[in-house]
């Protein structure tokens, strides 16, 4: 697990800056990989790449960059490839030799053998750069599910990529002109959906895609996309459950790889309890972790699961006051504004995790694969008119459909419905699942997990997002996800029925509910200061700041308005007030290992 960055100059008169710029990029993402740093700089200094390494697999031999035997192909890599051993054996049978035991070298050899077709052979989480001097091409690749991020900046002189936006912001000649489309995305969704960012010349590589740079021209390609053929036509639920068991068990086992301590985030819900079960069945006695408030938590359930499996369990108790004190730390760690209140308990939990482990397994993806969220159940079990479904889904997902009232330019193209096609092309439940798998999961859940955990030099792994498991789940008919009787995640619960108590299988979904209103009350002066700081700024040219100020005034003084909407606009304002200047001046410190 690492951070990667690089720069490709288009104009030779700037080539002498390559080393200085790539060092600035590396310094900005040092927290992602404090164990090692490696550079590749072309002899003419027109191209430079860097890797900041958090050593987990092949600690002794996994230094990057890594090269082909003739030195003409190289790679810097962030992530883990869980099927690298199988790929390695296949490649060895065709004559390829290996100098290390790392998955990085397997990606490189696989590319040498199969070219861009190799990207879809990888099962894991990754963002990597491969440069090929034979064809004079550079490839930037993001994993199938978007677990690992990669930002790309482009102007007339250069192309820069980096694992985090703060790396790009650290360079003095990067143009951070605001993108009204990215701002529009954020105000509606509370996060920005790829490929957009808050800045016109910065794009986030989409999940399942790669970019090719050839002769200074950057072109995007899709190498994988999720589909929902629902072609497992069977009434044998027992057979489906057994197939699911095999795949999830295999995913968990494969993600136990590494030479560092590993833990499990255990809420006591079905998803995390299933992962803990298969961890134990794989013979790993790992420590499990959970977080909660003194009077609102799921400790009873997580404690029972851990005890039943004989796993050591650590409980972290926090308070709204403690979470409120984390404001600056969380905003700086997030890298790009995400108005998900769950970022705060995740940050507090990460502080505890780093005292025990380097890697944690987590249950993200189970709801999106098997229909676990309340909005899925609401729409699927009601017969809403076809034309009302998408709007209802947006509202039940806590997206703000009236977002345009805060935009100055009402002629900006409305892109909020750009993934609505899934509702048009797929049956209702699968349309909702596909929408979230393309948007919410990679750009909210995975982004916050990556940024907050990596700020602490921790790696998160997500067995439910195993490529084979995702593709299998997409083939399961809707009625096995939400049953005719209205049971959510029905096939998953059936599969785990013999492993977990009924009290775990049948309990209502709880989640970690963060008291947004209490936090806003704690930060009242800070909220007003952040919103007022927008007046006269570039953001004031995109947002109608007067309307934002009125919203905040009415919330605090008249008790009107939705706390989450105030929260969303506050996080954006505070990020521009506090985080962006810190990134640009490089005056910030994250808690990763020194």
CA dist., res. 447 & res. 466, Å (int):
17
CA dist., res. 290 & res. 267, Å (int):
6
Structure token digits, residue 335: 């890298």
Q: Whose structure tokens read 């003084």?
A: 557
- Judged by DSSP in three states, 220 sits in strand
Determine whether 110 is an active site residue: no
Cβ–Cβ < 8 Å for 277, 307: no
40 Cβ contact partners less than 8 Å away, ≥ 6 residues apart: 47, 48, 49, 50, 65, 74, 76, 131
Within 10 angstroms of residue 564's Cβ, the number of other Cβ atoms is 16
N-term to C-term CA, the chain = 16
Q: Whose structure tokens read 């953001």?
A: 539
CA dist., res. 343 & res. 330, Å (int):
7
CA dist., res. 586 & res. 580, Å (int):
10
Structure token digits, residue 96: 């390829």
- Of residues 317, 315, 262, the one with CA closest to residue 290: 315
CA 466, 469, 474 angle in degrees (round to 5)? 125
Structure token digits, residue 92: 């060895």
Cis before 505 (ω within 30): no
Question: Rounded to 10 degrees, what is the CA torsion of 223, 229, 234, 238?
Answer: 40
Q: Which of 2, 129, 204, 230 is catalytic?
A: 2
Structure token digits, residue 468: 């084979």
CA dist., res. 493 & res. 505, Å (int):
6
Q: Whose structure tokens read 């490189």?
A: 108
470 Cβ contact partners less than 8 Å away, ≥ 6 residues apart: 144, 145, 226, 365, 369, 437, 464
Q: Whose structure tokens read 């600035």?
A: 24
- Of residues 512, 510, 189, the one with CA closest to residue 348: 512
What are 361's strand-pairing partners? 264, 461
Q: Whose structure tokens read 């349309």?
A: 431
- The phi, psi pair for 450, rounded to 5°, reads -60, -50
Q: Whose structure tokens read 């993806």?
A: 365
Residues acting as catalytic residues: 2
């Amino acid at each position: 697990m690492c951070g990667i960055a690089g720069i490709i100059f288009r104009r030779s008169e700037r080539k002498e800056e390559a080393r200085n710029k790539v060092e600035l990029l590396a310094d900005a993402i040092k927290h992602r990989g404090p164990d090692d740093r490696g550079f590749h700089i072309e002899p003419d200094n027109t191209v430079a790449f860097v890797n900041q390494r958090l050593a987990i697999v092949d600690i002794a031999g996994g230094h990057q960059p890594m090269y082909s035997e003739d030195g003409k192909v190289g790679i810097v890599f962030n992530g883990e490839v869980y099927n690298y051993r199988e790929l390695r054996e296949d490649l060895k049978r065709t004559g390829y030799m290996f100098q290390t035991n790392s998955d990085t070298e397997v990606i490189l050899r696989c590319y040498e053998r199969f070219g861009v077709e190799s990207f879809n052979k990888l099962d894991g989480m990754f963002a990597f750069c491969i440069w090929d001097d034979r064809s004079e091409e550079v490839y930037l690749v993001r994993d199938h599910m978007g677990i690992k991020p990669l930002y790309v900046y482009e102007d007339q002189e250069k192309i820069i990529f980096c694992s985090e936006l703060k790396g790009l912001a650290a360079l003095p000649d990067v143009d951070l002109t605001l993108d009204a489309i990215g701002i529009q995305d954020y105000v509606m969704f509370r996060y920005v959906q790829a490929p957009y960012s808050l800045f016109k010349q910065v794009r986030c590589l989409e999940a399942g895609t790669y970019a090719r740079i050839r002769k200074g021209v950057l072109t995007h390609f899709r190498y994988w996309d999720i589909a929902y053929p629902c072609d497992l036509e069977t009434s044998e639920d027992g057979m489906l459950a057994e197939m699911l068991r095999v795949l999830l068990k295999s995913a968990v086992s494969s993600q136990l790889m590494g030479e560092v301590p590993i833990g499990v985030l255990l809420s006591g819900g079905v998803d995390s309890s299933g992962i803990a079960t298969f961890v134990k069945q794989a013979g790993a006695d790992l420590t499990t972790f959970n977080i909660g408030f003194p009077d609102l938590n799921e400790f009873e359930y997580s404690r029972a699961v851990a005890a039943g499996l004989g796993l050591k369990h650590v409980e972290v108790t926090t308070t709204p006051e403690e979470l409120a004190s984390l404001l600056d730390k969380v905003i700086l760690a997030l890298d790009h504004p995400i108005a998900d209140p769950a970022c705060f308990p995740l940050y507090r939990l990460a502080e505890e995790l780093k005292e025990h482990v380097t890697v944690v397994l987590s249950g993200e993806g189970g709801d999106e694969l098997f229909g676990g969220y309340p909005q899925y159940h609401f729409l699927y079990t009601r017969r809403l008119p076809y034309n009302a479904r998408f709007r209802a889904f947006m509202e039940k997902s806590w997206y703000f459909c009236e977002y345009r009232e805060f935009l100055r330019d009402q002629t900006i193209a409305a892109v909020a419905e750009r993934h609505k096609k899934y509702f048009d092309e797929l049956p209702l439940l699968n349309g909702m699942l596909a929408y979230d798998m393309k948007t919410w999961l990679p750009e909210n859940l995975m982004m916050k997990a990556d940024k907050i955990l990596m700020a602490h030099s921790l790696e998160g792994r997500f067995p439910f997002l195993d490529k084979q498991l995702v593709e299998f789940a997409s083939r399961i008919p809707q009625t096995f996800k939400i049953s005719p009787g209205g049971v959510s995640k029905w096939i998953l619960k059936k599969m785990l029925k013999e492993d977990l108590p009924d009290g775990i299988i049948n309990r209502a979904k709880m989640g970690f509910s963060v008291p947004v209103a209490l936090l806003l009350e704690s930060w009242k002066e800070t909220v007003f200061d952040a919103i007022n700081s927008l007046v006269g700024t570039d953001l004031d040219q995109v947002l109608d700041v007067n309307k934002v100020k009125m919203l905040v005034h009415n919330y605090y003084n008249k008790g009107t308005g939705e706390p989450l909407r105030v929260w969303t606009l506050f996080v954006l304002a505070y990020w521009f007030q506090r985080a962006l200047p810190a990134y640009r001046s490089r005056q910030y410190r994250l808690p990763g290992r020194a």
